[in-house]
Amino acid sequence: MKLTTTLLLVMFDMALARPSPHQTTGKHYDCKSFDIPITVADIPTLALPFLPVADQYQATNVLNTLTARTQSGAAPKVVNVSGIYNIATQYCFPLDQPLSSTLQILTHGIGFNASYWDFYLLSNQGDTQYSYISTVTAAGYSTLSYNRLGISGSTLANPDTEVQSPVELSILVQLTQLAREGKLFDQQPKPSKIIHVGHSYGSHLTNALVAKEPSLSDGVILTGYSYQGSYGSSFLINSNLLLASVANSTRFPPSQYPNGYVTWPSQWSNQYAFFAYPQFDPAVLAQAEATKEPFTIAEFLSFSILSLDAPGFKGPVFYVNAEKDQIGCGFNCTGLVGPGTDAYNAFNGTSDIESVIIAGAGHGLNLHYSARETYGKINDWVKRHGF
């Protein structure tokens, strides 16, 4: 399938468009932003094992309980949730390349919005080295990225009952179905193949997607993700479960960010969790901190009720890990992802699993000096698999 850029632009004029998040003039790709309402019906979610927190004292106490030596061991209780949520999406496409008919659907992790995939330093906006979308559109691919539920631009839903992993999974399932049917916007070109790329929590959701609906994806790329969740408590402790509105009531007013929305205290906590010294530009860390997005305690805890075993998935799987990934690997990914590990066994319906480790990088792979190397490995894998 080949489409001219003009045709695409005409189609976008007919879509429900928002202003583009940043100026793309002069680039080899363009992005159009639009909002999609998604209806979620009867999704089993986690009934939180504690009352909604009323203040920071209670949030800190919840952290004590969650990371205590002894845990209750009680089976999680589930409760169904329904709702209609607005999801802010960006569709990016090359301007000066023949279009590939493969669409890449990109799901960002905790602490970021969709701009994780299209990161530019405000102080050096001509520098494309951190933009995944710049790299893959140069290779002819179109991308669909979106702000997950609970991220500004998309609905800031109830942090305790709605911003939960099963709801976010349902949103990814439905976005993928719309993309496959060409219904994201008026006259959207139907892709012949769709591959899913995740980062961190976005990889977790991508893994869960092909566990639940294996036929919806033709291939998955899991970055900053080792399948096992053993290192989550370090992340939680490092965050202090700091209430977003306590962290910065100007940026995260309590009227928009009720108490279940949390973040971490400072750029040093951000570095601990997402960066590996000295393989990053301090200006990138500062910008990541200045633009960080809160997460919810419930989305973190409800990881546990998503099934990750994907024996029905027959497509190829590519793990891309940072050598010094704190959240995914306890600051050492070597030996955690490979044949015989849980990360591989989860995909026992396919024989095509590869993994690579990016030397020196931390969890936020796209924000390290090695970003270009990371994107090169991904592009190479994508091409080798005929996408």
Looking at 153, 189, 198, 362, which residue binds ligand NAG (CB under 6 A)? 153
Per the CB < 8 A criterion, the answer to whether 211 and 197 are in contact is: no
Element (H, E) at 357: strand 353-362
Element (H, E) at 199: strand 193-199
Looking at 19, 126, 278, 335, which residue binds ligand NAG (CB under 6 A)? 335
Stretch that binds ligand NAG, among 216-224, 277-285, 295-303, 329-337 (CB under 6 A): 329-337
When asked if residue 291 is in the footprint of ligand NAG (CB under 6 A), the reply is yes
CA 367: distance to chain centroid? 14
Looking at 44, 214, 229, 258, which residue binds ligand NAG (CB under 6 A)? 44
Q: Locate 237 and state its tokens.
A: 């402790």
Q: Where do the H-state alpha helices sit in 213-278?
A: 232-239, 244-247, 267-274
Angle at the Cα of 193 from the Cα atoms of 37 and 175, rounded to 5 degrees: 10
Residues 9-38 that bind ligand NAG (CB under 6 A): 21
When asked if residue 360 is in the footprint of ligand NAG (CB under 6 A), the reply is no
307 residue type, one letter: S
Q: Which is nearer to ligand NAG, 167 or 216 (CB)?
A: 167
b/e per residue 229-257 (b: at least 16 CB within 10 A): bebbebbbebbbbbbbbbbeeebbeeeeb
Looking at 348, 372, 376, 384, which residue binds ligand NAG (CB under 6 A)? 348
Q: Which is nearer to ligand NAG, 309 or 354 (CB)?
A: 309
When asked if residue 113 is in the footprint of ligand NAG (CB under 6 A), the reply is yes
When asked if residue 251 is in the footprint of ligand NAG (CB under 6 A), the reply is yes
When asked if residue 351 is in the footprint of ligand NAG (CB under 6 A), the reply is no
Contact set with ligand NAG (CB under 6 A): 21, 42, 44, 80, 88, 90, 113-115, 147, 153, 248, 250-251, 291, 309, 311, 332, 334-335, 348
